Amino acid sequence: MALADLIVSLWGDQAASRFLCSGVHVAPGHILTVAHAFEDLAPDGQTFVCQLPGQHGAKAATLLARHTTLDAAIFKLTKPIGDLRLPLPDAIGAQEGRRPWFHAIDPDTHDVVSLDHGCIGDYDGQHCEYVVAPQTAHGYSGGLLAVGEQPLGLLNCRIENEPIARAIALAQLRPWIAFHIDRPQGPDDQAGPDYEALAALLGLRALQLLANPGTADLRRLGGFPRRAGELVGCPPRDCFETLVPDLHQATQDCLDAWRTLGVPVPRNFKADCHALLGELLKGAVDRQGRTPGELAELAAATPDRMFVACRTLGAAATVYCSITDIPLRLAEPKGALDLHGGSVIDLTDLAQGVGPDAERDAFDAVWLSYKGTPVPVDFGNGEQRLPYLKNLMSHIDMKRRLYRDDPRFLVARGPREWLHGVGLASAGERLRIGLVIHAAGSDYAYLAVEEDLLINLACEYLQLLERP
């Protein structure tokens, strides 16, 4: 089937009186188009599609996914039409100087048109776009850029009236498209074997990260994960000891390839890799088959409900983020075994007081962490502390709203008897900042691997990301 036969028009109403943009039938029942034409459309909102083979009138389609960083969106038709599928490239390739074709909907006649003006210029790696001069993409957004019958990019109009056309590389969109098309959309849908194995091994969040530009090359160039089928169902320790070094090697392969090609490291690559490492680290936590709800019930019924055994802050962050199901963010390592979670307040060096003394020490540490200023000298006990406590609570809430910080939590070390009586639990509850984590005395461990192994592998990977 010719590429022009995959082009459709998208409309804001069923009467097809308000034209929005072009689109392309990327897979059976799925339309790829630009996101900017649907800025005000709610999740699961509808558009209407025309120019479908063998169909008359506009057919409803629901918004399935909007890309987080690129100008792309996918709609799913209420009823799939045939076996229409766009052959997606798996590499950028050298296209400079080649004569391109535009396949799109003419904004005036609303007919499918194919234009062969201009010449492909440089590839803009920062925005994952091909540029074409002198042709403009204005009016043809959502159409295809192609060389012959080879599709290259999704036409968009990033800057209005810009004298060059831009097209998002389909090779960069491919993992994201595959993720949203292959994943099951409802209880009766079946996932493909590759998606099913990866979801079982890595989790949904990691799979979403691997669909982003840049990190997508971890699979395409680095082959990550290399033994997904073999690892599904293996113990957490085996998976962790294989996946983190595998991620390290895949990242090294990508960095080497980009350096050889003279291509800059893609935007958000390091941030996405940090988040991906966090997801793999969470896999090192053994929940002993318990769901988060069961863990909460267990915590409420046991004397150690506030405590999980960890010696280092990186392991503490791993455990906390795993059992609370929040994304794990890791700061740069300061030393070989010094990995700090992005939301840790360390109480390790505090005097091991009890009752109000320990609670005051906890408030002092939290004040310094959040306010960045010394604790007021009259920060006393009882009623004297209340104004400062209210100030601190207000500052914490404001910072969370502004910066969307992860919930913070306290880390303390010491024997169980001390931790049960110090007042840190009440401090954590009053500040609403989570767990207190200690070094010994817990009746049930959550880590499925040795802490030193977890921290060493994580530090080695973070140091790789920070190399110039």
User: Which of 201, 233, 267 is the C-terminal boundary of a domain?
Assistant: 267
Within-domain flag for 361: yes
C-alpha 143: how far from chain center = 27
Domain assignment present for residue 465? The answer is no
Q: What is the mean pLDDT of the chain?
A: 76
- Cβ neighbors of 347 (< 8 A, separation 6 or more) are 361, 362, 365, 410, 411, 412, 424, 436
Q: Are 54 and 151 part of one and the same domain?
A: no
Q: Do 376 and 314 have their domain in common?
A: yes
In a domain, 467, yes or no: no
**Do 169 and 187 fall within a single domain?**
no
Distance CA 54, CA 7 (A): 14
- pLDDT for position 293: 60
Does the predicted model carry a pTM greater than 0.85?
A: no
- 276 within a domain of the structure (yes/no): no
The string of DSSP codes covering 341-371 is: BTTEEE-TTS----HHHHHHHHHHHHHHHHH
Residue 427 in any domain: the answer is yes
Dump pLDDT digits (tens) for 329-360. 665 444 433 344 445 566 655 555 666 677 77
Check whether residue 207 and residue 324 sit in a common domain. no
* ∠ Cα 377 405 176 (to 5°): 165
16 and 128 in a single domain? The answer is: no
In a domain, 345, yes or no: yes
Residue 88: pLDDT over 50:
yes
Whether residue 111 is found in the same domain as residue 235 = no
pLDDT of 94 higher than 70: yes
The parent domain of residue 450 ranges over 292-460
Give percent above pLDDT 90 in the chain: 12
User: Which residue, 52, 30, 36, is CA-closest to 177?
Assistant: 30
| Lowest-confidence pick of 207-216, 235-244, 380-389, 399-408 | 399-408
Place of tokens 């790789």: 464
Q: Does 93 reside within a domain?
A: no
Tokens 């890791």 belong to which residue? Answer: 330
Report if residue 92 sits inside a domain: no
Predicted local distance difference test score (pLDDT) of residue 248: 94
- Write down which residue in 125, 140, 173 finishes a domain: 173
Does 434 lie in the same domain as 350? yes
- Max CA pair span of the chain: 80
pLDDT at 160 over 60: no
Q: Verify that 343 and 421 share a domain, yes or no.
A: yes
d(CA 10, CA 18): 9
Same domain, residue pair 252 and 317: no
The per-residue pLDDT for 304 is: 46
For 175-192, what is the mean pLDDT?
67
Residue 363 has what pLDDT? 78
Residues 154 and 62 in one domain: no
Instruction: Give the Cα-Cα-Cα angle 107, 132, 1 (nearest 5 degrees).
Output: 60
48 pLDDT band (50/70/90 cuts)?
A: very high
Band (pLDDT 50/70/90 cuts) for residue 35 is: very high
DSSP states along 71-129? S-EEEEESS--TT------SS----TTPPPEEEEE-TTT-SEEEE--SEEEEEETTTTE
Most confident of 164-168, 270-274, 408-412: 270-274
Here the tokens at position 144 are 């295809």
Cis amide bond preceding 236, omega within 30: no
Domain count, the chain: 4
pLDDT of residue 339: 41
> 258-300, pLDDT tens digit by residue?
888 788 888 889 888 988 888 888 888 776 666 656 655 655 5
Tokens describing residue 82: 């045939």
Shared domain for 236 and 298, answered yes or no, is no
Q: Give the end of a domain, one of 125, 155, 173.
A: 173
Task: Give yes or no: residues 337 and 228 share one domain.
Answer: no
Residue 32 sits in a domain of what CATH number? 2.40.10.10
Residue 116 contacts residue 152 (beta carbons within 8 Å): no
